[in-house]
Structure formats: structure tokens, C-alpha cells
Amino acid sequence: MITELEVKDLLRRGGYIADETISTAVFLALRMEKPILIEGPPGVGKTGLAKTLSEVMDFPLVRLQCYEGIDEGKALYDWEYGKQLLYTQLLRTQLDSYLSESADLRAAVERLSAEESLFFSRNFLVQRPILRSFLSEKRSLLLIDEIDRSGDEFEALLLECLSDFQVSVPELGVIPARNRPLAILTSNGTRMISDALRRRCLFLYIGYPEFDREVAIVRARFPELCEGLARQMVEFLRKARELNLRKPPSVSETLDWAQVLSILHTKQLTPEVVANTVGVIAKHQADLQQVNELAAQVMG
């Protein structure tokens, strides 16, 4: 059985710098076979954690991107109606002969109803992400991304899936998971997730990393960037997050900016460098001026 330290080391080798809270939550989720609900601002590494775990644990990634209006037909299972219709047409001759032996229309309907299970068998079942993850030959990582974009009805659908790791199909009965996946749900906190769903999950909040960890994240991804520049840009971005920006720069912007500065062979941040690359870290016109003014203030 893997240990907490091994989890942290695996993540580090996969390029994800985790703190003790993150590695402990992952360790417990693996040990207890419980889903993790991860909340936090956009771009702090929630989805990245799931992707890295998939790689380092060698769990196939099965991703379900949530959106308003998502239902069981997109998340759990659906019936392959086109294939059912094709089989019906191919078997028409046999069906005609089979039903011609019925005394009347009612008897023909009853006789046909007795055979309908043939058309609602696993041969015609379309496995959507959750069921596909449950029936995977190998333990998988099920990522239910941005659950806060879905509605209350969809959350209710997940309760059985995430507590018992099974899917109920009225025509087939209960389908248990062949291998329980490591399930990770992410939320940007745009909507309150129900207590019923929270109760079925371990909870992990990932916010903006502390200074040293964010520098380590940059250095792990872009080792060619000198440490002095990495520390300077992280310090600047932390100040930018204190501004009242419409979209504060997150860790994803930190990494994008590090890549840009690496491409440009930048050695030191100046107001000119910030002005030329500000579109990487500020995403609204109203934010651009504030970030440039901050650069002039702290670097001028």
C-alpha cells in the first residue's frame, strides 16, 4: 500500500508540487476508496492534480466535463437507438413470421413485449464516462470536472454512483463497478454543492500556493528559468492578486508567464517587460492598466 510520502514524491516526479494537505487527501482517498471534492479558484491546479495522478498512478483518465443541463444520458449511460432500429429492420422478416402466429393484436403486442429485453441488453448500452470508468478492466481515475456548472438534479444522480460505486439501469438492474475508480470532483465555487454530495466525499480546498511552493512549481516546470527571475515574477503576481482585478492571475497564468519569459530569454522583470507581456497575466482590458501601474510602482 502506498504511503503519504510516496504519494507526494510521485506527484513531484510528475511535475506537480503538492503540500502536505494535498498529498494526505490523495493518500486517504486511495486508502478509503472515497471520492475527493476539490474546491478552489480557477487555475490553481485542481484538474492538473487529477491529470498528474492519472499519469503517475497509471490509472486511465476518464473525464466528464460538467455543464448546465447535463443528464444521465451524457454522464452515465444511454441506449443506442440507431443500432436498435437497424436490428429491428434486419429482423423484420423473422418478426413478421413470429408475430403472425398470434391470435390477435393484443397477443402480438404481449408476445413482442416478452422479447423486448433483447433490445435493452448490454449489446445496445452506450457507456458514458461514469459507467465506462466503473466497467474499466483496470482501475481508472474518474474526473468529474467543474461539478458546480451542473444542476441539483445531476448532483442527485451522482449520489448512488459515488456512495456505492454502482449504476442502476431500470432495464438491466444494478451494475456494480468492476474496479472502483479514484474519483475526483472539482468545483470553482460558483455554486454551492449540496451537503448530500459533500458527505460522500473527502473535501480538499486548493487556494493560491504559498510563495515558496509557487516558486518551486515554476522551477519544476521551467528549470531553465533562473531562480531569481522565478522569485521576482511570483512576488509580483502575489501583489497583483491583491489588486481588485476582474480576473486575478492564478497558477496557470504564472506558468504561462514563466513560459513566455523563458521563450523571450528574459533575465529580469522591468515595467517594459510587464507591459509587453501583460496579456498573459491579465485577461480583461480594465485589468491591464492596473497591472502596468503596479509594475511601474514596484519596479520603476
| Contacts (Cβ under 8 Å, ≥6 apart) of 85 | none
Residue 237 grid cell? 503576481
Q: Residue 35: CB partners within 8 Å, gap ≥ 6?
A: 29, 162, 183, 184, 185, 200, 201, 202
Round to whole Å and give the CA distance between 129 and 66. 11
If you search the block for the grid coordinates 502596468, which residue do you land on? 292
As given in the structure block, the three cell numbers for residue 166 are 454502482
pLDDT of residue 264: 96
* CB atoms closer than 10 angstroms to residue 300: 8
99-136 confidence digits (pLDDT tens): 677 777 777 777 767 666 777 788 889 999 999 999 99
- Which pLDDT belongs to residue 293? 95
- pLDDT of the chain, 300 residues: tens digit per residue: 789 999 999 999 999 999 999 999 999 999 999 999 999 999 999 999 999 999 999 999 999 999 999 999 999 999 988 888 888 777 777 777 776 777 777 777 777 676 667 777 888 899 999 999 999 999 999 999 999 999 999 999 999 999 999 999 998 999 999 999 999 999 999 999 999 999 999 999 999 999 999 999 999 999 999 999 999 999 999 999 999 999 999 999 999 999 999 999 999 999 999 999 999 999 999 999 999 999 999 987
- Can you give the pLDDT at residue 96? 74
Determine the residue type at 144: I
Query: With contact defined as beta carbons under 8 Å apart, do 204 and 225 qualify?
Result: no
Rg (CA), the chain: 26
* pLDDT value of residue 21: 97
Domain ranges of the chain: 4-76+129-205, 78-123, 211-299
Output the CA angle 88-170-92, nearest 5 degrees.
Answer: 10
The predicted structure's pLDDT at residue 101: 74
Q: CATH classification of 4-76+129-205, choosing from 3.40.50.10860, 3.40.50.300, 3.40.50.720, 3.65.10.10? A: 3.40.50.300
Helix, strand, coil content of the chain in percent (nearest 5): 55, 15, 30
Listed as own residue / partner, the contacts of 261-266 with beta carbons closer than 8 Å and 24 or more positions apart are 261/225, 261/229, 261/233, 262/222, 262/224, 262/225, 266/229
